[in-house]
Amino acid sequence: METGSASQRKPASIVQVQSNGSISELHGWIVGIPGLAQRARRKEDGMQYLWKTKVKQLCIISLTWLFALTAISWTQELKANPDQRTGPAAAGTLEDWNTLTLSDGVLTPEVPLLGEKDNFPQFTRELIQVKWRHGDPIDLYVIRPKGVGNPPVILYLYSYPSETDRFRDDSYCARVTKDGFAAIGFVSALTGHRYQNRPMKQWFVSELPEALGSSVHDVQMILNYLATRGDLDMTKVGMFGEGSGGTIAVLSAAVDPRIKTVDLLDPWGDWPDWMAKSELIPEAERSNYVKPEFLKKVAAFDPVQWLPHLTSQHVRIQQVMDDSITPKAAKERINAVTPPDAQVVQYDSTREFFGAAAGGRIFQWAKEQLKPAPAKAPAIQASQKPGVRAVESGRD
C-alpha cells in the first residue's frame, strides 16, 4: 500500500507517542502514518475521543459561523452609515469635531506616562505620552528652562506634515526656552506618529474636520494636563502655529481663553482659495476638495471665520509671500479679517524672512507678549527693513 498519497490525506489530529508512553496531540494533516494514529486512538478513553473529535469540531464550526455573521452584520452597518468608520463611534468617544469647545467629560485622559526625562544645563526635557482617545496616544514634549520656578508656557505646533524630531533637537530646545519660557511640543492629529491604521487615501486634508477639530480638542486637553502639573504659569500661555498648526492655533485661541498670545506663520485658511491653488493638494485629488459639499463641511474650521474673534489676545501673523502651500489669494483674505490690534508682517520671499527669523529670533515676539522685557527698546517697524512690509502694526 502506498502511504502519503493525496487520497489518504484527511483532517485529523497528529498523535505522537512519547517515549514514556504518554500521548501528545498536534493538529494538522496526517501524511503517511494512518496506522500509528489509529493504534494510538484505540488507547484513548471513549469520552476523550468523543471530545477531541466531535464536540471540538462542533465548537469550531459554531464559532466560525458566529464570526461570519458578526462580520456580515458590521459590514452592512458600515455601508448604511459610512461616517462611523472613522468617526467618534470608531474612536469610542462622544467627541464631536464640529464643536470646537470641549465640554467636560467628552474626553477622559488616561494617566500620563513619562517616557524619558533629559537634563541639560539650560533646560529639562520630558517626553510624556498622553492619551484620551483609543489608539491615538500623543507624544508630548515638555521642555522647561532651568532655574525658573513657574515659567510662562508657549505651545509649538508645526504644520502637517511634520514629526516630533525638532523637539529632540537640543539647540532648538535651548532657543525656545531662552529667557525663561517653557515650550510644549506635539504634532496634530493625522500627522507624524499620529497617522496610523488608516487607509492611505485618508490624510490630513481629506479628513480636515477631524484633523482640525480633534487637534483643537487636543490643545485644550494638553492645557488641562499642564495645569495639573503645578510647575508652569498657566496665566501666561502662548501658542506658536505654523501652516496647519497656525490654523489650529487660531481655532484653539478662539475657544480657549487660557491662550493669551497667538503667533502664526503662514496659517492655512480661506478654504475655497486654499483648496483650489495650494501646492500641497495633489492635482489628482483637487477636484474632491473644491466641491461645494466638501467646502461646506470644512467651512466651520476656516480661520477666516474665527480670526475676527481673537480680540482679547495678542496676535501676530507672519506671511512669506513665496510660500506655495498657502496661495497668495488666501493670504490676502486672511489679512483682511485679522482683528484690529493684530500685527501682520508680510515678507516678499523666504530669503527676506530668513533675515528676520533666523537664529531663534522668530520666537522672540511671543515671549515679549507674555513677559515684556522691563526696559524695552522701541521696536523697529517691519516696514523700515528692506523687503519687509508691515501691513498693519498692532501693539508693538
Partner 1 sequence: MTTRISRTAATVALAVIMCTGLNSYAATKVLFNGVGASVLFNTFALAAYSKSQCGTNIWTYKKGGNGIDGRSSSIPAENGNIWIVWNTPLTHVCAYLSIDATVGAQLFLAQPKATLSIPSSEIGLAGENLVPTLTDTTLPQAVYTALNAATFNAALLDSRPEDALFAENRVLAALDPVHYTGLGYGPGPIGTPIQSTFSSSEATPVAFAISGTDPITGETLPGWTATNVGADPEVIFVNTENTGSNGDFSNTAAFQNVDRFPLSLALNGTFGYTRDLSNVPGLDAQPLNVILREPLAGAFNTLEFSVPRSVEVGSTQELGVNPANAGGNPLNITNPGGGWRKRALSSSEEVSEVGSSANGNVLGYTYWSTGNFASVVNSTRYLTVDGIDPLYASYAGGFFPTCTAPCPGLVSFTNIINGSYPIWSVYRVVTAHSVPAGVAALIVAAQTQAATAIPDFVPFNQLAVFRSHYNLSGKTASDGFISGKPEAGGDLGGAVFPIQADLDFYTDTAKEIVGSKQ
Q: Nearest approach, Cβ of 330 to partner 1 (angstroms)? A: 17
Q: Nearest approach, Cβ of 370 to partner 1 (angstroms)? A: 18
Q: Which of 240, 230, 221, 250 is nearest to 140 (CA)?
A: 221
Nearer to partner 1, 116 or 279 (CB): 279
Q: Nearest approach, Cβ of 346 to partner 1 (angstroms)? A: 15
Q: Nearest approach, Cβ of 70 to partner 1 (angstroms)? A: 40
Q: What is the DSSP letter of 21?
A: S
The C-alpha cell that represents 86 in the structure block: 472613522
Q: Nearest approach, Cβ of 26 to partner 1 (angstroms)? A: 45
Nearer to partner 1, 76 or 171 (CB): 171
Nearer to partner 1, 270 or 323 (CB): 323
H/E element, 203: none
Q: Nearest approach, Cβ of 381 to partner 1 (angstroms)? A: 21
The SS3 of residue 70 is helix
Nearer to partner 1, 231 or 285 (CB): 285
HSE (side-chain half, CA atoms, 13 Å) at 240: 23
HSE (side-chain half, CA atoms, 13 Å) at 28: 9
Q: Which residues bind partner 1 (CB under 8 A)?
A: 158-159, 161-163, 166, 169, 171-172, 175, 242-243, 265, 279, 320, 322-324, 349-351, 353-354, 357-360, 362-363
Q: Which of 297, 335, 309, 285 is nearest to 208 (CA)?
A: 297
Nearer to partner 1, 163 or 231 (CB): 163
Q: Nearest approach, Cβ of 328 to partner 1 (angstroms)? A: 14
- Give the C-alpha separation, 323 to 319, whole Å: 8
Tell me the residue type at 288.
Answer: N
By the 8 A CB rule, do 211 and 188 touch? yes
- In order, the DSSP letters of 83-122 are GGGTSHHHHTS---TT--SPPTTSS-PPPPEEEEEEE-SS
Nearer to partner 1, 225 or 347 (CB): 347
Q: Which of 66, 118, 149 is nearest to 74 (CA)?
A: 66
Q: Nearest approach, Cβ of 166 to partner 1 (angstroms)? A: 4
- Give the C-alpha separation, 251 to 216, whole Å: 7
- Give the C-alpha separation, 234 to 76, whole Å: 48
Nearer to partner 1, 110 or 163 (CB): 163
Nearer to partner 1, 137 or 355 (CB): 355
